[in-house]
Amino acid sequence: STVSSAEVMSPQWTDGDTFVYVGYDTFAIDTMNQYLANGSTPESVDRIGNDRLTTRYDGNDDCTRTAWEGECSKATQTHEIDLIANWTNQSTLFESDQLFVTINTDRQVWEPVDRIGIISPFTDVKTITLFMVNFTVGNEQNSVEVEATIWSNSTRSGDWPEQFRTGDSWTLEESIETTTSIRTRENGGPWNETEKITKSEVVSSIWTAGEESDIYVGEGSQIKESTTVVTIEETGGLRSDKLWVHDEGYVLQQESRIDGKVTLVLQAVEWSYNFEEVRNVQITGNDRTGTIFVFIVVGIAIATILGWVGFRAYNIVKEADYIDNIAERVVDLDRNIREKGRDSEPNQPRGLLSRDAEISDDIDNL
């Protein structure tokens, strides 16, 4: 990494610092568009209501790792999105051929206040995600809930610098242990819990500070901000992130890709950072290419919305097979309706979803 004589101070987070982003719903909508219930894909998936991701710094707290001496910084993150899956008119037994889905995410993040360099030695994240599916058949209202609690503990090593500028790069190795527990219930009944599943992996990545870039953020993208682009490439993998970083060290925009395909785009619409003048930044020349800045990875930044932790936390939608769990519950209810229909009117088609003969036979043989 490039060594500079510029005097740079680390940004200091203040209790109440808040960042609000849009775009966190991209992955949810993409996932729901692939939602299968009895082999029938919805014609469209629409978003209704709030789609904003809010991250708030909550001051210092006891660390989650008892062996660590010192306090941790803590941040919370909330996000809720409401989706409507629409099928062709009169092709299902859902009222108005619609299925309503609410995805609620609450996340808590702990990182040590004391650190060497710009990246935290560890990050602990607790995420609770609740999927609630509501639909009406006849006069009967039904609900299916799938709730997952995920503990992600990341420990890092590498040669990251305390400060960097355009052209600098460094490597990071991250050991991640994730424990997931899932519980489900139907129509407000008792919860059915599954066993906890623990997975471990080691992820290596290369971080590179790129060129300066002006972007437009805020409500209606009306605010022009100067940023430095930082890319994160997984070593030997398919994942990559691109971050647009303000000189104060916080991120105003992020783009995530898997195998070149964009999977997530976040953009800040409002933010409150109460220590804006904390640093002394040295600028050389008539442009910003010589600007030195600090990029502190704290609970309110990388751990909550950026890098692998934030991306993986949302990607758990697929990893934990939430949608498959929901589909299975709907299939079970569908089967019960059809079985009751056969007893009363054996010659009439019954079920939540229309299906051709091949699909019907496959379902009946399950």
Q: What is the pLDDT of residue 202?
A: 93
Q: Could you tell me the two tokens for 151? A: 């503990």
Instruction: Give, in order, the Cα–Cα distances in Å from 364 to each of 50, 240, 324, 351, 359.
Output: 39, 43, 18, 12, 9
Please report the pLDDT score of residue 275 as a whole number: 66
Parallel, antiparallel or unpaired: strands 239-245 and 223-234: antiparallel
Q: What is the pLDDT of residues 23-39, one digit of tens each?
A: 877 666 665 555 444 44
User: Collapsing DSSP states into helix, strand and coil, what is residue 118?
Assistant: coil
Q: Residues with Cβ < 8 Å from 292, sequence gap 6 or more?
A: 4, 6, 8, 163, 164, 165, 281, 282
**How far apart (Å, rounded) are the C-alpha atoms in residues 3 and 241?**
25
CA 93/CA 78 separation, integer angstroms = 34
Map residue 54 onto helix, strand or coil: strand
Backbone phi and psi for residue 359, each to the nearest 5 degrees, phi listed first: -65, -40
The angle, 0 to 180 degrees and rounded to 10, between the axes of the packed helices 26-33 and 307-319 is: 20
Q: What is the pLDDT of residue 327?
A: 55
Per-domain residue ranges of the chain: 18-204+297-364
Task: List the chain pLDDT tens, one digit each, 366 residues.
Answer: 333 322 223 446 678 888 888 887 766 666 555 544 444 567 777 888 767 888 888 888 888 998 888 888 888 888 888 888 887 777 777 788 888 888 888 889 888 887 666 677 888 989 898 888 888 877 778 888 888 898 999 998 888 777 777 888 889 899 999 998 988 888 888 998 888 999 999 989 998 988 888 889 888 888 898 888 889 898 988 888 888 887 777 788 888 888 888 877 888 888 887 765 444 333 222 222 222 222 222 222 222 222 222 233 233 333 334 445 555 556 566 666 556 555 554 444 444 544 333 333 443 444
Burial class (CB in 10 A: 0-12, 13-18, 19+), 276: exposed
Answer for the pair 42, 29: CB distance below 8 angstroms, yes or no: no
- The reported pTM is 0.71
